[in-house]
Every structure is written in structure tokens, then in C-alpha cells.
Amino acid sequence: MRRDRTPGTLAIILAAILAAGPFAPQWTVFLLTVALAKGLVVRGLMILLRCGLVSFGQALYYCIGAYTAGLLGLRFDVSGVFTLMFAGMIVSALVGFVLGFLLARYRSIFFGLLSLAISMILYGLLVKTEALGSSDGFNLLPSTLFGWRPVDAWVRYMVLAVATAVAFVAALLVHRYLKTPLGRLAPAIKDNEIRVEYMGASARHASHVKYVIAAALAGLGGALGRPGWRGGLRGLAARLPRVAVAGVGGAGGAGRGPAGGQRVLYVIACGAPPAREVGRLVSLAQGRGWNVCVLTTPSGRRFADVAGLERLTGHPVRSEYKDPGEPDVLPTPDAVIVAPATVNTVNKWAAGICDTLALGILVEAIGKGLPLVALPFSNRAHAAHPAFAENVAKLRSWGVRVLFGPDVYPLHDPGTGSSYLHLFAWAKTIEAVEDGIRDGEGDADPARPADGRQARQ
């Protein structure tokens, strides 16, 4: 009998990832973790495809798993990562079991469209429900591993280790299932369902079981992939339709960039209290497939956790122009987000002043036609100055997406900004920059420098 090499191959991959993880850049570790989580969804889709079922709605269960884990932590102080993953898997499987009675009756395009319709119903509920954070999500409690939470420098590696172990076990179980009589029935259902019924097997029952397994795997991936070790559950509802389409047609926005086709995003943080939490924006962007580089104004550097951001992105955090002849250590940007953007930076930017590296990049980015998004942070007194309103209007007329107004972030009284950081709309900046790319912005000239000042190259 032919020897089964799959378990051994999976074990080698497991060992290689665990051994290489401590030496990999933080952004690579993060992306690999997300890939393993979404790979669980793909594994469920593979089970359905073997049966001839094409589902456009598996993002439904990924979302259910993530929200189940997030709400257990938020409402009931449950922090154990394995408990949260198990809960997300069980809830998704139960929902899949109920919906499976309906979906198992359909085949071909009818199955796909019905699964997509059900997924979009959940999407509509989430974006309209403020108790669930609407499209901005909500902050999460930190997760623990058997009651222990690692130090910040090892958080991402521990998440990767958990994700790798879970993916390894799931792959072994799926491999085992495919060798059972029920698993082997899938190709026969795909080829000739009537013949399967004549043989005494129930094609509807087999399809129902496969749908529940796929739902459980997607829920497990959602609970695993939620950014619960640091940051929050933000924007998942807004990404639900894209995840559904990506399951069939690919992510579609992976674009150009140095690392495996990744687009490069510059995040510029100015001197304001939200700069302490700019790592949240970095994690959100990395979760969308961006290669993120962080820059700060000289004042912004005093707020930011420079060492932590460098570990998170794998790039140095720059604040000053480099000396002549020095090589550029950052890749050329495909888009730029300024968050938080201070009144000082907005006014200088509109005036074309390039006295800092951040402003030099921003002024040049307008000329290069890059997608640009700014999220100002200002108190009520600063924002009332006539020059600020005029300059916001100027930047918008030049194609900059300035996210400013009471529907984005409420103005606060001077000296009270730190009390409103939880309202700062990080997720809206990612959505805005990706909307700009879809609208055709960003035909940058790669021959032009990204540093903003020719004389200091």
C-alpha cells in the first residue's frame, strides 16, 4: 500500500514556520498569521468544491467566528485564545447547520447566489448595528494563552505559533475526513448526483455535512484571525463583501510593490495624542495586504512608539531628510495616509512648504497623483481659524481625501483631546485610500524621488 506522506509534509512545514518565526520581520509574521487564518476558510471551500458546490458566502462564517470571539471577550471577559477559537467554530457550525437545511437543496449557480445573499444580509445588519461597532468595529480585550500573555516583543510570534498549530491540526483532520466514505462521496455527487441516490446514499445529507464542516472551518479562521492580541475588531463588516469575492476571484487589489506584489503605504503621524496609537492603523493596513512604512513629523516622533513601530513594520521610522548620497531605506509609496494630521501640517501642506521630510513627501505626492488621505485631529479653537477651513478645501480640490467633519470625528475643547482617542476613525482612512485606488487615483511616476527634496537625496 502506498505510504501517505501528507502528515509528514505538514509536520515539516509546521516545524519550519515555528523555527523561522522568531527571526522573521514583524510584518511578515502578521501576514503569515492572517494567511493561515484565511487558509482555513479556503480549506472549507475546497471541501465544497469537491462536491461541486461554489459558495460566495463563506465570509459570513469568518465574520461570525470573529465577532463571537470578540463579544465573548468584551461582554464576558473571556480571554483564552483556544476557548475563543472553539466558541467561534461552534457558533459558526450551528449557524451553518441551520442554514444548511435550505442550502443543501440547491446546486450550481443557485447555491452560490443564495449563499452570497445570506452573507450580505449579515453585512447589512452589522453596518447598521451600532452596538456591534457598525463598520468601525470595536476594541477588544487582550487574549491570553492558558492564562499567560507574552510581552509585546513576542506577541505576534505567539499568535503565529497558535495559528500554525491550529492550521496543522485542521489540515490533518480534513485529510482524514476526505478518506472516509462520506468524504469520498464528494466526487461522485459532483459527477452524477442521481447515480449516488440510486446507490442508496443521500446527496443532500452529504452536502449538508460538508457545508457545516466548511462553516466550522471558516468560523475557526475568523476567531483566529481577529486582531485580538492587540488593537481591535475594526472594519470587518465593511470588508465582508470583499472577502466573499476574494474567495473565488482573488483579492484583486494586491497591485504593485516590492514584496510579492504588495502595495506600499506610507503612514505619516503628526504631533498629536493619536500618534501614540498609530500602530492600530498599521495593523489594519497590514491586514488588508499593505506593506506599511511609518514616518513622523519631528513633533510626532515624541508621541510615537518608534521601536514598536519598527518591529511591527520591519522598516525604520523616518522623521528627517537623509544626507546626500545615502541610499533610500524605504520603498516608493503607492499611497499615503496622514493620521493624525495636525492643523500645522494641514496649513503648511496647502501652502507647499517642505521644511520637514513628512511635508516634502506630502507636497510631492500631490504632484505625483498618489492616493492621499488625511485624518485631522484638532480641538475646536484651532479648527475655527479661517485658514484651516480654507486649506482643507484647497487640499480637497487637489484630490486629497480629507476626512473631517462631525460624522468622522467630533471636535473637542482645548486640552481634552486624550479623552476622545477611542473615537479616532483609523479604519475610515484605509477605506478611503482603497476607494481612491478603485477610482483610478495613483498613477505615480516611479522615476521621481519619494523623499520630497531633491537637494538632500
- Are both 202 and 160 inside the same structural domain? yes
- Are both 224 and 290 inside the same structural domain? no
Residue 238 has a pLDDT of 46
> Is the residue at 403 inside a domain?
yes
Beta bridge partners of 336: 266, 372
> Is the residue at 254 inside a domain?
no
Q: What are the pLDDT digits (tens) for 82-111?
A: 999 999 999 999 999 999 999 999 988 999
> Is the residue at 256 inside a domain?
no
Where are the alpha helices (H) located in 104-180, listed in sequence order?
108-128, 152-178
Query: Cα-atom radius of gyration of the chain, to the nearest Å?
Result: 24
Q: What are phi and psi of 56, to 5 degrees?
A: -100, 5
Q: What are the pLDDT digits (tens) for 256-269?
A: 333 334 689 999 99
- Are both 308 and 437 inside the same structural domain? yes
Q: How far, in Å, CA of 399 to CA of 179, rounded?
A: 57
Q: What are phi and psi of 424, to 5 degrees?
A: -65, 125
- Are both 113 and 158 inside the same structural domain? yes
Q: Which long-range contacts (CB under 8 A, 24 or more apart) does 154-159 make?
A: 155/229, 155/230, 156/26, 156/29, 156/30, 156/33, 156/229, 156/312, 157/21, 157/22, 157/29, 158/229, 159/29, 159/33, 159/229
Q: Is the pLDDT of residue 428 over 60?
A: yes
Residue 381 has a pLDDT of 93
Residue 319 has a pLDDT of 94
The answer to whether 61 and 219 are in contact (CB under 8 A) is: yes
Sequence length of the chain is 457
Across the range 362-378, mean pLDDT stands at 94
Q: What are the pLDDT digits (tens) for 238-257?
A: 445 444 444 443 333 333 33
Residue 103 has a pLDDT of 94
Q: How far, in Å, CA of 356 to CA of 271, rounded?
A: 13
Q: How far, in Å, CA of 294 to CA of 195, rounded?
A: 60
Cβ count within 10 A of residue 3: 5
Mean pLDDT of all residues belonging to the chain: 84
Entry pTM: 0.61
The answer to whether 44 and 217 are in contact (CB under 8 A) is: yes
- Are both 11 and 120 inside the same structural domain? yes
- Are both 269 and 170 inside the same structural domain? no
- Are both 325 and 195 inside the same structural domain? no
Residue 450 has a pLDDT of 38
Q: Is the pLDDT of residue 454 over 50?
A: no
Q: Residue 126's pLDDT band (boundaries 50, 70, 90)?
A: confident
Q: How far, in Å, CA of 162 to CA of 21, rounded?
A: 12
> Is the residue at 255 inside a domain?
no
- Are both 185 and 278 inside the same structural domain? no
162 lies in which domain range? 6-249
Residue 260 has a pLDDT of 37
Beta bridge partners of 191: none
Q: What are phi and psi of 318, to 5 degrees?
A: -100, 145
End position of a domain, from candidates 217, 249, 281:
249
Q: Is the pLDDT of residue 272 over 80?
A: yes
Using alpha carbons, select from 284, 288, 281, 244 the residue that is nearest to residue 263. Answer: 288
> Is the residue at 142 inside a domain?
yes
Q: Is the pLDDT of residue 401 over 50?
A: yes
Q: What are the pLDDT digits (tens) for 274-289?
A: 999 999 899 888 878 8
